[in-house]
Amino acid sequence: RTTSSTSRRRVRRAMFSVTCAPSATTTTSCAVKATARSQRVHAAAQRRSVVVNAGTGKFIVGGNWKCNGTAESVKSLVKELNSGKIDVDVDVYVAPPFVFIPRVQKELNNKNYAVAAQNCWVSAGGAFTGEVSADMLADADIPWVILGHSERRALCGETNEFVGEKTKYALSKGLKVALCIGETLEQREAGTTLDICRAQLKAVNDVVTAADWENIVIAYEPVWAIGTGKVATPDQAQEVHAGIRKWCADNISPAIASKIRIQYGGSVNAGNCDELAQKEDIDGFLVGGASLIGEAFVTICNSAKHSK
């Protein structure tokens, strides 16, 4: 080794001994840093936990077929679902496009699957071209409806308040509601994810009763992860789900917060479902693209075996 490199090492050792020599100042500084670090860890733990117990509701998986399918492809998908084996205790619903619902009701194994609508109108029927009322869904023996999906919020201009009124009316007709909430990429990057979710939940809570929440499933869908192939990490999803459950405890009741089921939706597939299902506040999934693949959807349903 050269003399110059040896000299540089001596200088670095000297600098190290000076900067790290114990003193009252450095000891106090280290203590302050340790305390701050402890506070940050504690705060992170609080964000990941909830005042009430983690979800106690039965795992639930929904399949949102969106605006996809033909008579032939739906027939094939139903056949795949019927032949798949769901070997765990789980609630499952699928939401075909309206025109295919009668076929699905007739052919799909109703012991394993319930049928849902993808939307309904805010009030009773009438001069509302293109709409379907909750009364019609109830009359057609369709027990579930998806409301507040981000695509309807963005493409159809549905506000938080409008979704609240739709939810109220659907519940009044005896339907169960999968209530979708979630933030855009810009909102996540701005750090307002939970603020957005709370506002969406509040608009519903303002017009329904505590008892109504017994028939609502919350579907948290980060908009930036829907159909993009991007998925929130299990820890990111758990953090938001825990925040949602805490909001329910603070604004509805701890009992409802414990029982209410919070689905995760955002590019869930057969490859990532098992890990996501292990998180204590993830009570199921709302699945988009993968719900169009029978084998994959059955795999996702069976991930319930990994839930806490």
Residue found under tokens 């077929």:
65
From the list 149, 158, 183, 239, the catalytic residue is 149
| CA torsion angle 163 235 144 57 (round to 10) | -120
**Nearest CA among 93, 89, 88, 86 for reference residue 63:** 93
Name the 3-class secondary structure at 147. strand
With vertex at residue 277, the alpha carbon angle to CA 176 and CA 43, rounded to the nearest 5 degrees, is 100
Among 151, 158, 183, 221, the one annotated catalytic: 221
Using CA atoms, how far apart are residues 14 and 19, in angstroms rounded to an integer? 9
The encoded tokens of residue 194 equal 């939970």
State yes or no: is 42 an active-site residue.
Answer: no
Kindly provide the b/e burial profile for residues 261-287, where b requires at least 16 CB atoms within 10 angstroms of the residue's own CB.
bbbbbbbbbbebbeebbebbbbbbbbb
Element (DSSP H or E) covering residue 73: helix 71-83
Residue 265's contacts (CB-CB under 8 Å, 6 or more residues apart) are 62, 64, 180, 182, 219, 220, 221, 226, 285, 286, 287, 288
Active site residues: 149, 221
